[in-house]
Each structure stands twice: as structure tokens, then as C-alpha cells.
Amino acid sequence: MIRQQLRRLVLAVLVSLLALGASPAAADDEPTITFHTGGFGHGVGMSQYGALARAEAGHTHEEILDFYYDGATLGSVGDFPAFNGGDDLDVLIENSAGGNTHNGPVSVSQPYVGGSYQEGWEVEIHVGGSLLTTSTESVEAIFDGTRWSATIDHDDDAATDRVELCDASCEGPLEFVQIGGTHVVLEPGEDRDPNLGNGSGAYATGRIVLYPGASDSDCGSGTRFCVIHADLDFQDYLVGLAEIPRSWPEAAQAAQAVAGRSYAASAAINRAGLERPWDIVDSTKDQYYTGSTQGIDACTNNWCDGVRSSDDQVLVFGGAIAQAFYSSSNGGHTTKPSDHWQGGSDLAYLPSKPDPFDGHPSNPNRFQEVVLTVDQVSSYLNAYNDPITGDQLHVGTVLDIEITDAPDSGWITFAEVTIVGTDKTVVVDGVPHNGGVVDRPYGYRFWFALNQGCLADPDCGRRIPGPRLEVEDIVHFSDVSPGAYFFEPVQWMTEEAITTGLTPTTFGPGVSNTRGQLATFIWRFVGEPDVATPHGFDDVPEGAFFADAVAWMKEHDITTGISPKLFAPNGSVTRGQAAAFLWRVAGEPGSSFDHDFGDVPDTAYYSTAVRWMVEWGITTGTSDTTFSPNDPLTRGQTAAFLWRLAGEPDAFADGVDLPPSMRTGS
């Protein structure tokens, strides 16, 4: 039912080698993104897998419907004026490309069962509302843009044995009414495959109408025409509905039957003013209708039992038949129409709420983990060319994904998704609607590109449900685990281009920081300012990655080197030296804040710097009583110090310009 591929996609980006289910394996040194995903369909109304789980838990179909359609009650379809004279439906049978119209020959064929044609089969043929003839054999029809040509092939062989039924008066709708046998088979020309429709091409009861485009613009023009399964009783229509497995419990079948009957009846009423020759479409634009070889009276399976046990029941809300939307799986949370459809109107009986029963073990789209590498996600986005926005998602290597303005359901269809990459930062927007584009955020495109990429990638090769999506973290280094105190600081440093790691996949959080590395980190933190004065250090060669950073630090009295001519860029920087550097970057603000570090004497050059760091929460020491000023500073500690300073604008002295990489404004 309007089964666009939207659902729950919770993106928690973790460095992890534990891939669940069908997730592709990642090498030990590859950063990975773990998606928590679930659901298939639009998530509005009833979850079919949720109904299964509830039925297995002993819920009646009334109780199932009561959960999914808040405040709706059960009524009879016959109580509504539109159906007082007979509850019939007209169903459009789409072409193989999902369009309204067909072209070329269509055969209304005699069923071939068990090696022979079905005995007693017969159809009446009407044209323009008048009976033309009857036939006990297959009839092939073709429209030339003005009139029909209808022929009977008596021995299914030579063209000379074909009998033309029509003359110049064969204009208007061509109708076939079965008066013998169980069903007709619709083929694109006699004995041609595949048959028309979504199933075997079998259609029982009602009428088959070939409606020429010349009579109605909704059926095309020229030689095109519509194929309609008309005058269907609701019960017979439901027999041909193929929305859930026939093996499921009767309570789930009955709940589905009521939802399907309600949806069809509501659609027929709401579309009555369109004056089209059909009420409902046979595809997931409405409900997936495959036809059948028998009507409700002859049908014997769980589905038909559910159809019969709920005979005539529809959901009613506010005196009208409810639009009983449903989908395969909601991923554990139903959603509102406005969360999913552009211009969708929210309805009181279709709320957004958690649905734990959707997690049935047999549900392939229940909430689950899918693990991809950062390279995979980046390549999927860079390969996706949208028909509207082109290369909008070509961001290079993904550094960060931020979701804002998502609804309570967590669906990002219209949420603002910001993707930060090495090549550009993009806010995903531009909603396709009615042949145009609506200027609003469109997070759905991010999920769609991700899903398309995974399906096309042999190393992934699966559908990613979506898009209920929350981004927790992205980790770019395999040695930075989410639980580490430096996890978020390293994320921030990567996103702000303060670090690129020791290698593309490792950060080295436990490795001692060199003085050259720390100088570079600080210089990038403050925006890589230009340098006017040479540094004068003999051990800092021109062109070294840290040369401009050291020169800037020397120019601004942040360092004087270990001697007038030496900076020792490859030597380890101590925690005391780092404290002094950061304090000077902040403008040497005064601080008399007390601490309990016994290894930081008042006379030390870094004493005020350490007090300042404790005051602003930049350090808590290596223990309650030690700062360890002479220990080498690790890269993980460096990340934590810089990240904490970036979140404290008041830690800077008055008059000092705040670095552009601050995490919060002044």
C-alpha cells in the first residue's frame, strides 16, 4: 500500500567489527558505520508484521485494529450511501511499467489447466454497452485508435481460422462477462508471456473492460487503452488482494481484510468526483491486487477465512470510512502522514507511536544492525546522481552527518540532513512533487542513495530499510572506540580538519604527541593564520608540515623553544608544556583556582596554566592529587584538552579573538 521504501534507519556510527545479519565484513583497519535500521513501507497505520505478532500473542482482529487506528470503530460498508446499491469496485490493471494504459493485442483467454482447456468456459462480449456475441474460446482484441478488432481463433493455429467479430460499429468500451468456467486469463496477445497484471493473469467474477483512450483521456490516446477488472464485490476483490502470506493466523488475516476493505471503500468514495473508469489501482500505489482463479464462495484458505469472518466490516471515524493505511513493517514506530508524504494531512486515528510488536522474528525488516565502512557510505553518495539535484550528494569522504528538525517519529523524510565531506558540506533538499520541486529539506534522498548503493555493491548486496534515522557518531579511526573519553574530541578534530590521523585509518590516541604535532593542532584550531616573522629555529626545516605552526607560535610568544635556536619538533611534549601552550593561546588569563595536585608547585612556569585548566574543566589531572606535568602528553589527551577548550569561550582572556573552531559562541 503506497509502498515507497521509507522506514526506520537509525544511523549510529561506530568503529566496530561486529556485523549482524547480512552485514558485510570490514577489515580490522577499516572504520565502519553501524546503521540501526528497520521497516519497509511508509509506516503509517497498521504494521503487517506487527499484526502477525499480535495475532500470535492472542489478540483478536478487533484488538489489532484498535491499536493501529486510534479511536476508529467497526461499521458496515453497506451503511454508506455510496455502496447501498451494491458494493462493487472497478480495478485498473496497470501495465508492466506501472502505467495506466496498454497497447497492442490483449487476449481474454480460456484457462489451460492440467494439459487441456477448461470445459464449460464461456464469455459474453459487449461493445459500446450492447451484446456482440458469446464465445467458448479465447478472444483477442486490438484497438486501432477508432474501433476494436476482436477475433476468435477456433483451433489456436493458423490465422485463416480466426473469425473477426467486429465491424465498423465496434467502438467504445469492449467488455467480457464470464458466464461459464471459473475465471479468465488476460494475456498480451494469445499465448504470449508474461500475462497481464501482478499474478498469473487470472481474474474471477466481475467483468473485464477494455476502455479505449479515445473515450477517456485517463486511458491514453491513439491506440492505447485501459484494462479494468470491473463490478467486483468487495469480498471477491479481497480474495485477489495479495498483501500478506496466506499462512498467517486468522486474526491477522481478518485485520488485513478490514484494513484493505476500508482503504478500497474510502478510495472509491474520495475519487468519485474524478469520473475515471476505475476506483482503485492494482499496484502498491493503492493495494497489491493479483486477481484469482475463484471468488469468495469457492476460496478455502486462511486469507479467505479472514475475509469471511470480517464480512462487510470497515473502519469508521467521524462518520466516514477511514483511510486505513498500512505497510509491511514500521521498524518499531508508526508515523504520521505528514512525516512521510509531501502535503500529507494528519489524521487523529493515525498517530505516531512505538510499536514493539513490529519486531517479530520473521520480519526481515525489523530493527537491526547493518555495518558498512566509511568508504562504502562515501562511495554510495558520490556515485548517486539524482534526477533533480544531480551531484548534490557528491561530498567526498564523509566526515559527519547531522540530522535536525526530525519529527517525533524519527523519520528524516523531510528532516534537515547535513552531510560534511572532505569536498563539500551539503544540506540535502529539494522535494519532488507533482512534476515540480518543493524547496524544503529532503532527508529521504540520503537514505535512498545509501540504499541504492548497497543494493548495487556486491560486498553489501542488500536492501537497507529506511529512513527513520538518527546519527549518533561517525568514527574515522579504527583505534578510537565510542566508549573512550577522547572519542568525541577526536570526532570533532576530524570534522574541523585539525587532524587527519597518523594514517587514514588510525589516530594513535595512546602515542606520545610530538611538539611539532601539538603546534600543528593548535595552529589549525585557531584557523591556520598567516605568519609574518621567521621562527629562527635551526631544527624546523622550511616546508615541514609544522613549520608555519611553529613560526606562528614563536611570533605570538606561545613558545620560545627549548633554546633560542631549537624547538625540538620531534621530541615528546610534556603535559606541563601543553598546559602552558594552551594558556598562552587563550591570552594568559589570570587564575587563582585551587587544585589538589601535589606535583604542580606554585613556582613552576605552568602553575597558573594548570590552575586555569582546572578552573575551566579542561583537565581533571591524572588522579585526584596529580597532574603529571613531566609525563608525555598523548594524542588522546591532546584531543580532549583542545575539545574542552573549544567549548569554553569564557576561558579566553578579554580581547582575544575566539578561534573559528570553537564548539560554541561567545
pLDDT at 24 (0 to 100) = 52
In this structure, the number of other CB atoms found within 10 A of the CB of residue 594 comes to: 8
CA dihedral of 220, 225, 230, 235, whole degrees rounded to 10: -80
CA dihedral of 154, 156, 159, 160, whole degrees rounded to 10: -40
Q: Which residue has the higher pLDDT, 583 or 31?
A: 583
pLDDT at 85 (0 to 100) = 53
The average pLDDT across 208-232 equals 88
Backbone φ and ψ of 243, nearest 5°: -100, -30
In tens, the pLDDT along 624-644 reads: 999 999 999 999 999 999 999
Whole-number Å distance between alpha carbons of 355 and 54:
10
> Residue ranges of the alpha helices (H) in 384-480?
444-456
Whole-number Å distance between alpha carbons of 488 and 49:
38
DSSP 3-state of 525: helix
pLDDT at 161 (0 to 100) = 56
Whole-number Å distance between alpha carbons of 248 and 257:
13
Whole-number Å distance between alpha carbons of 277 and 657:
71
Q: Is the pLDDT reported for residue 41 higher than 80?
A: yes
pLDDT at 372 (0 to 100) = 83
The average pLDDT across 458-481 equals 81
pLDDT at 410 (0 to 100) = 80
| 21 pLDDT tier (thresholds 50, 70, 90) | very low
Range in 54-58, 61-65, 169-173, 563-567 with the lowest mean pLDDT = 169-173
Q: Which residues contact 222 (CB under 8 A, 6 or more apart)?
A: 145, 213
Q: Is the pLDDT reported for residue 240 higher than 90?
A: yes
- Eight-state DSSP code of residue 358: G
| 225 pLDDT tier (thresholds 50, 70, 90) | very high
In tens, the pLDDT along 390-437 reads: 999 999 988 888 888 988 888 889 999 999 888 999 999 999 988 899
Q: Is the pLDDT reported for residue 336 higher than 60?
A: yes
pLDDT at 169 (0 to 100) = 74
The average pLDDT across 377-383 equals 96
Range in 71-85, 170-184, 225-239 with the lowest mean pLDDT = 71-85
pLDDT at 162 (0 to 100) = 64
Backbone φ and ψ of 538, nearest 5°: -70, -25
CA dihedral of 376, 378, 384, 388, whole degrees rounded to 10: 150
In tens, the pLDDT along 494-545 reads: 888 899 899 888 899 999 999 999 999 999 999 999 988 888 899 999 989 9
pLDDT at 156 (0 to 100) = 52
Mean of the per-residue pLDDT values of the chain? 88
Whole-number Å distance between alpha carbons of 34 and 465:
13
Q: Is the pLDDT reported for residue 338 higher than 50?
A: yes
In tens, the pLDDT along 132-168 reads: 999 999 999 999 888 898 888 655 554 445 678 887 6
Q: Which residues contact 395 (CB under 8 A, 6 or more apart)?
A: 378, 381, 382, 419, 420, 421, 422, 423, 424, 425, 426
pLDDT at 215 (0 to 100) = 64
In tens, the pLDDT along 46-87 reads: 999 999 999 999 999 999 999 999 999 999 998 888 775 556
Q: Which residue has the higher pLDDT, 273 or 522?
A: 522
In tens, the pLDDT along 281-330 reads: 999 999 999 999 998 988 888 999 999 999 999 999 999 999 999 999 99
Q: Which residues contact 71 (CB under 8 A, 6 or more apart)?
A: 317, 348, 349
| 17 pLDDT tier (thresholds 50, 70, 90) | very low
Range in 50-54, 213-217, 566-570, 630-634 with the lowest mean pLDDT = 213-217
pLDDT at 269 (0 to 100) = 92
Q: Is the pLDDT reported for residue 658 higher than 60?
A: yes
| 229 pLDDT tier (thresholds 50, 70, 90) | very high
